[in-house]
């Protein structure tokens, strides 16, 4: 079975309270600040956005199940 390189991957490091969301195959990237400790990951070669990183992620949720607004737009498409 061919692996879909456009899968969304979510990684969370509890010790550093860091959340990262990426799409596609791993690439070398730079981080561009979006404000409020949020960053977009930019592919060094293509300059396309390949992910999002949020520092102090859980500190943004004083209560469970609270909404967090992040200044990004995501397009999703079914592969089925």
User: In 3-state terms, what secondary structure has residue 58?
Assistant: helix
- Give φ, ψ of 76 to 5 degrees: -120, 145
- ∠ CA 14-15-20, nearest 5°, is 50
pLDDT of residue 51: 92
Per-residue pLDDT of the chain (80 residues; tens, 9 = 90+): 445 456 788 899 989 999 999 988 889 999 999 988 999 999 999 999 999 999 998 887 766 665 666 666 666 665 55
pLDDT of residue 1: 41
pLDDT of residue 19: 93
Instruction: List the chain domain ranges.
Output: 8-59
């Amino acid at each position: 079975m061919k692996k879909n390189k456009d899968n969304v991957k979510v990684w969370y490091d509890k010790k550093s309270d860091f959340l990262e969301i990426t799409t596609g195959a791993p690439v070398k990237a730079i981080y561009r600040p979006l404000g409020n400790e949020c960053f977009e990951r930019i592919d060094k070669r293509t300059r396309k956005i390949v992910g999002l990183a949020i520092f102090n992620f859980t500190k943004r949720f004083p209560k469970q199940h609270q909404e967090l607004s992040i200044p990004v737009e995501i397009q999703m498409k079914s592969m089925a």
